[in-house]
């Protein structure tokens, strides 16, 4: 993928599909790297499933279609000298944490791209799901919490035009300071 923001979109879609009520998207950026953490409270996966999603061609299972969202994230991270990690739990306290490290100065680093559009697209497509987005860079940060937005909006859907537009402007404005 040309932009990491598209990988992020794909990975967060997995969380939504897993029935997550809240998905946290954290970007921690320093001089030389970006650490991405996507944490959800969805249904989770068992150990075998985690193995097969990381390496879909290694699985002996042919009955289940396995996608490429996670392998593509893995490739984007590994080609910079970084990597990914998945921790997942089913049953009590179910959920999944997908984390990835990217080295920014590596020649094969894929730029982050349009993260604002990714976040806005997620909210627009899933107005009843909550997202906490934080992008930290040095001592500054961009933040959006749909739970707080929802509280203020008192029943107005998060995907109505005015709210989407406001959200987009709010994020863009914060990015000017990052
Ligand atoms: N956050 C998650 N929670 C639960 N299951 C997940 C999660 N992420 C991925 N999965 C499982 O792993 C599979 C593979 O994910 P992915 O590589 O993105 O491909 P795709 O989404 O096209 O199936 C998903 O279909 C889903 O069953
Ligand atoms: Mg996917």
SS3 sequence of 106-128: CCCCCCCCCHHHHHHHHHHHCCC
The Cα-based distances of 102 to 60, 96, 126 in angstroms read 30, 20, 28
Per residue in 92-149, pLDDT (tens digit) is 999 999 999 999 999 999 999 999 999 999 999 999 999 999 999 999 999 999 999 9
Q: Shortest CA distance to 7 belongs to which of 50, 68, 96?
A: 68
* 43: Cβ contacts below 8 Å, ≥ 6 apart: 18, 19, 90, 94
Per residue in 46-93, pLDDT (tens digit) is 999 999 888 877 655 555 556 789 999 999 999 999 999 999 999 999
Compute CA 65 distance to the chain's CA centroid, rounded to the nearest angstrom: 22
- Tally of structural domains, the chain: 1
C-beta separation of 42 from 18 below 8 A: yes
Nearest CA to ligand 1 atom 10: 14
Question: In terms of DSSP H, where are the helices of the chain?
Answer: 4-17, 47-54, 69-78, 115-125, 146-153, 161-176
DSSP state of 97: E
- pTM exceeding 0.75: yes
C-beta separation of 72 from 62 below 8 A: no
pLDDT at residue 61 in the model: 54
Residue, of 37 and 52, whose pLDDT is higher: 37
Distance CA 92, CA 75 (A): 31
Q: How far is the CA of 14 from the centre of ligand 1 (A)?
A: 5
Percent of the chain with pLDDT over 90: 88
Distance CA 12, CA 33 (A): 21
What is the number of residues in the chain? 178
Ion ligand 2: residues, CB < 5 A: 14, 67, 69
Distance CA 9, CA 87 (A): 19
Tell me which ligand sits closest to the C-alpha of residue 39. 1
> Average pLDDT, whole number, for the chain?
94
Q: How far is the CA of 133 from the centre of ligand 2 (A)?
A: 19
Model confidence at 16: pLDDT above 90: yes
Domain span at residue 172 reads 4-176
Per residue in 91-102, pLDDT (tens digit) is 999 999 999 999
CATH number of the domain within which 59 lies:
3.30.565.10
């Amino acid at each position: 993928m040309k932009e990491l923001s598209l990988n992020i979109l794909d990975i967060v879609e997995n969380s939504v599909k897993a029935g997550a009520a809240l998905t946290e998207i954290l970007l921690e950026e320093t001089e030389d790297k970006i650490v991405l953490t996507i944490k959800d409270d969805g249904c989770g996966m068992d150990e075998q499933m985690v193995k097969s999603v990381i390496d879909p061609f290694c699985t002996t299972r042919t009955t289940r279609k396995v996608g490429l969202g996670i392998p593509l994230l893995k490739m984007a991270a590994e080609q910079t000298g970084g990597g990914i990690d998945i921790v997942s739990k089913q049953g009590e306290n179910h959920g999944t944490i997908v984390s990835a490290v990217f080295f920014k100065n590596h020649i094969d680093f894929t730029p982050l791209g349009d993260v604002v559009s990714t976040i806005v697209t997620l909210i627009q497509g899933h107005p009843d799901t909550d997202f906490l987005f934080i992008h930290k860079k040095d001592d500054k940060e961009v933040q959006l919490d749909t739970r707080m937005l929802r509280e203020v909006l008192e029943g107005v859907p998060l995907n109505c035009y005015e709210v989407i537009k406001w959200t987009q402007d709010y994020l863009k404005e914060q990015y000017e300071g990052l």
